[in-house]
């Protein structure tokens, strides 16, 4: 199996490369800095111009690249978020379409997010639930539409809808840990909003599973089976990190963040990974306690594999 990965140097990308290496796959990473060495990559190809990137000869392409959501949502920041996901994906899909049919990958697995469901309160969302409203929902709708455009070229297209990705080497945990160490860990608003999450090792396994199983197609919820409210998440995170979190960030302050940024913290998404369950996928970290116990354990302890 010869697999290409964009965004390979990122938090999730590194976990996917490690899992692919365990499968003895050949890994082609795509980067805007192709001269930088990348662990587990057999080759690094440039991605400076996605319309001209060398995508030929791959069995599958995993697409993760995009502007981080964290950071103040200025107008320019929101434009970069949108362009780096929608436009970049459109350019990659157009590039794939120009390849000779035999040179095209059989599968495109392109990241999406549970933000597509908008603010849904206590409703349980499965993979076929309606799309919601808000900047992130609109972003994900366009992002997935760009990905599914590859179907016209005979490429099986899958959109794993990621929840919050937890792990010891980066992502959300790294940012939260700093706040908790500064005694600034806090519940957000009422704390009743649902947070759907997944451990980074399980997220990587979902992406690789989508490549290996030819019947998986379209949107797939990439979350653990048990969501947590923000209040529950804050309590468990504080306990596992041996900290306290007595503070509350008022809802009105979060709603006042510029250009709708508050939706990242206040929107409620209780998401069920129904399709992954139906295909018999098993999670190494089903509960928030198990996931955070691994995150805060000493390296080498309580760590699952990525098979």
Query: pLDDT band for position 307 (50/70/90)?
Result: low
Q: What is the pLDDT of residue 250?
A: 95
Q: What is the pLDDT of residue 125?
A: 97
Q: Rounded to the nearest 5 degrees, what angle is found at the Cα of 204, between the Cα atoms of 203 and 205? A: 90
In b/e form, how buried is each residue of 219-232, taking b as 16+ CB within 10 angstroms? Answer: bbbbbbbbbbbbbb
pLDDT tens by residue, 262-286: 999 999 999 999 999 999 999 999 9
Query: pLDDT band for position 177 (50/70/90)?
Result: confident
pLDDT tens by residue, 68-104: 998 899 999 999 999 999 999 999 999 999 999 999 9
Distance in angstroms (rounded) separating the CA atoms of residues 119 and 17: 33
pLDDT at 257 over 70: yes
Which burial class, exposed, middle or buried, applies to 203 when counting CB atoms under 10 A from its CB (0-12, 13-18, 19+)?
buried
CATH number of 2-296: 3.40.50.720
pLDDT tens by residue, 9-39: 999 999 999 999 999 999 999 998 888 889 9
pLDDT at 301 over 60: no
Q: Which of 86, 89, 65, 69 is nearest to 78 (CA)?
A: 69
The structure tokens 């992954």 sit at 276
Q: Are 97 and 152 in contact (CB under 8 A)?
A: yes
Instruction: Give the helix/strand (H/E) hosting 294.
Output: helix 288-296
The helix/strand/coil state of 187 is: strand
What contacts 24+ positions apart, CB below 8 Å, involve 251-257? 251/188, 251/189, 251/190, 254/188, 254/189, 257/73
pLDDT tens by residue, 120-145: 999 999 999 999 999 999 999 999 99
Percentage of the chain modeled with pLDDT above 70: 97
Find the mean pLDDT for residues 247-251. Answer: 95
CB neighbours (10 Å) of residue 192? 13
The structure tokens 């949108």 sit at 82
Q: Which of 110, 14, 19, 116 is nearest to 65 (CA)?
A: 110
Q: Where are the domains of the chain?
A: 2-296
Which burial class, exposed, middle or buried, applies to 243 when counting CB atoms under 10 A from its CB (0-12, 13-18, 19+)?
middle
Q: What is the pLDDT of residue 300?
A: 62
Query: pLDDT band for position 162 (50/70/90)?
Result: very high
pLDDT tens by residue, 193-239: 999 999 999 999 999 999 999 999 999 999 999 999 999 999 999 99
CA 295 to chain CA centroid, Å, is: 17
* Pairing of β 156-162 and β 107-110: parallel
CA atoms within 13 A on the CB side of 105: 29
Find the mean pLDDT for residues 43-72. Answer: 94
pLDDT at 305 over 60: no
pLDDT higher at 265 or 305: 265
């Amino acid at each position: 199996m010869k697999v290409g990965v964009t965004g390979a140097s990122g938090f999730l990308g590194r976990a996917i490369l490690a899992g692919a290496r365990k499968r003895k796959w050949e890994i082609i990473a795509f980067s805007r800095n192709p001269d930088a060495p990348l662990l587990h990559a057999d080759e690094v190809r440039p991605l400076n111009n996605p319309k001209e990137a060398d995508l030929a000869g791959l069995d599958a392409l995993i697409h993760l690249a995009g502007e981080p959501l964290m950071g103040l949502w200025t107008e320019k920041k929101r434009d970069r978020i949108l362009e780096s996901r929608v436009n970049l994906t459109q350019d990659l899909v157009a590039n794939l379409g120009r390849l000779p049919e035999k040179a095209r990958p059989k599968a495109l697995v392109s990241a999406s997010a549970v933000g597509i469901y908008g603010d849904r309160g206590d409703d349980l969302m499965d993979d076929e639930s309606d799309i919601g409203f808000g900047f992130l929902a609109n972003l994900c709708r366009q992002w997935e539409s760009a990905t599914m455009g590859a179907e016209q070229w005979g490429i099986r297209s899958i959109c794993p809808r990621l929840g919050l990705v937890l792990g010891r080497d980066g992502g959300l945990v790294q940012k939260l840990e700093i706040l908790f160490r500064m005694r600034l860990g806090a519940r957000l608003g009422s704390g009743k909003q649902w947070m759907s999450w997944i451990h980074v090792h399980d997220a990587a396994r979902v992406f690789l599973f989508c490549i290996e199983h030819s019947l998986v197609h379209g949107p797939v919820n990439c979350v653990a089976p048990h969501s947590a409210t923000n209040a529950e998440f804050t309590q468990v995170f504080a306990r596992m990190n041996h900290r306290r979190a007595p503070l509350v960030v008022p809802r009105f302050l979060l709603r006042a963040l510029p250009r709708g940024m508050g939706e990242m913290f206040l929107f409620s998404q209780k998401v069920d990974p129904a399709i992954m369950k139906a295909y018999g996928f098993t999670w190494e970290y089903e509960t928030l306690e198990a996931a955070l116990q691994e995150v805060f354990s000493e390296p080498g302890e309580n760590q699952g594999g990525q098979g």
